[in-house]
Structure 1
Amino acid sequence: MTSILGRFRLPVPHVYLIAGASLGGLLFLRHVSSSLRADKFRTLLSPRETTLLELSGDEVKKLPYPPDALPGARDVDSPYGSIRVYEWGPEDGEKLLLIHGISTPSIALTDLAYKLVQKGCRVMLFDLFSRGYSSGPSPHTYHYDSPLYTTQIHICLLSSPLHWSSFTLLGYSLGGALAADFTSYFPTLIHSLILIAPGGLIRRTHTTWKSRVLYSTSGILPESWVERLVARRLYTGPEEARSIEPEGDGVENAETKTTSRGDAVYSSSHYALLQGTPYSTVGAVVDWQIEQHEGFVKAFISSIRYAPVHGEHERWRILGRNIEEGKGGLKKVFVVLGEMDPIIVKDEIMEDARGCLGNENVEFEVVKGAGHEVAIERAGEILTVVGRALGKW
């Protein structure tokens, strides 16, 4: 773990004691302060702009997430950093925008995307800021929150050679929370909404005291400590390399760890995302981001703190009112849940979603035997729901 997470080192207290007692210490602190100000406005570059340049062709092919993993790749410049976007399928096909979860980039939805294209759809996927091959802003400058992610979605849509004025929005986990949030603000753009194991209505009672302390914005822990601890929690490498075991109710472990709550179990860290590429697993992709993407852990922490993951009942109520009042073409929200998901507990979200959206405005599909990885491992069942939402296959 030391070699892999070398840059996530806890500070040595003696350095601060010595520095604080001398003129040299004052100069040192001034230098650190200046560096922090510089970092505040710095773009956190993706591996495409850093380590990828140093690899041979064979090394690139063996990456857990190779840069040519999906068709129709483009890198879109933006004021917040470059965004990796994929778009392919028939130009006259039904348009679907897919948003991935909190830790695994867009290739997590590879199987579903290909199945949709086979049905004649036009799909667009993108890596959220500071995931995969997308760069991102420093969290010191911008919170990874609803405004930032909403802006990113618009940038991706506007980068297309086609006109995405009306489309289906599908989001998984954090992506589901972002999809519901986006639709509540821009109802005229979305004619179908499919949320898969979505965040947004997660009850805070499932957050442990350790997670509350770790992700607190009060400065209880130095940020460098928080980054190191989170990196260790996310890392899925050899068992002997782990220093902190995952918590069953920690939302940050939803896509990468094996754990349980009662009878609920999820384990997707070893699931292969790309056909014929056994080393492209969820766990390997997350580890690669920890090792090679300077913004990944920082953005992850900021997303836990500020993204619309918990307590978004009012936005969901607005979404329900928009349906009732006929704003836009959306008639119903389709929610897909894993029967055994310990993060998005089906009984809880079904109760809360009905309360926010109205019984007639939401339809649930519970996938038997599935956990939180339902969008990754059960694309066939998801495809059926999409077909029902579109009134097609």
Structure 2
Amino acid sequence: MQWHVWPAILLILIGCLGALPAAAAESNPFSTKPTTHHGLKWRIGYLEGGPYSNYPLNLKALVAALADLGWVETVDSIPLGSEADTSLLWRWISRNIKSDYLTFVADAYWSSNWDGKKRRIQNRRAVIKRLTTKKDIDLMLAMGTWAGQDLATNRHHVPTIVISSSNPVGAKIIKSEQDSGFDHVNARVDPTRYERQLRIFHDIVGFTRLGIVSESDTVEGKTYAAINDVQRVAGEKHFDILSCHAPFSKVTQEEAFQAVLRCHRQLAPKVDAFYITVHRGVDLQRMPELLAPFYEYKVPTFSQSGSQEVQAGVLLSIARAGFKYIAEFHAQTIAKIFNGAKPHDLDQLFQDPPRIAINTRTARIIGYDPPMEILNMADEIY
């Protein structure tokens, strides 16, 4: 493979982007100052589609960002527990986070465990029933695409913050980048995030055959894997896409993992680069097994999800600083809602600062000597 030195023009572009504010300029006058709900604490609930490695990291970062704004007391450390399971984390937060202004309600937690046939339907009904009858929840955190889809409805009107959805517009959670379509819904969007990732990856590697894995027979699967973005950049950069179907819903965690592993073994000899997409089968604890085919065939990899997968052995990704920046965005949105703003009226557009994460051990394994330009741009080096 012909490795490319990162073009100077791209370095200049990324340097300029990095100098911009992390979010679009906010014209809304609402304060982020801590306040109570008519003398009572605001009550927050949580819904997710199922366990996923990004979810606990997002939740932990959100609590830290709320602490930075003064809404909760600062804690030295928040235990993650399982890499993917937020239930223990939510329980810990509900019991241990101290605040005069808000509370994370212990029994207002729902996970569908990726059961789209039964559990998801039951949870959707249970959550909406509680929001509309008991009415004891003031704001819902909808973690991921499934949760966003389930709560982006006029069957309730409780403010809902959609977190960690790959493409909320494509998943039909919100109407557009500017308009959620619901007064009570706000979903972070970054419409060109994955296109930027792929362009950076191509500028570095110069591949002609890119491998990807997705659940190709569902809208959610295509959305998670950013299929439309991959196809768009493939047309622009003139590379071929070699894809492999691996189910993540309606299967067990082990079945999802084995499906991804089969795809990796099948595609590794055929591609000269691989885009590790968002998929339930991508298990951080078992990354050496998942990445072994790419090490064997000297295939460079890029993580769509973020730098936690680079730390686990993927070659490259965008550094996300433990989700600090996106958590600050969501925390400010929540603070403004509690100060009287409608979720619909607040910004949804937020771009991650474009900083690189690289695994130098993986680079050595696959025979890649990263140029100094890339190392100088890297915020996270493993």
Normalising by the smaller structure, the TM-score range is under 0.3
Normalising by structure 1, report the TM-score: 0.27
| TM-score where L is the length of structure 2 | 0.28
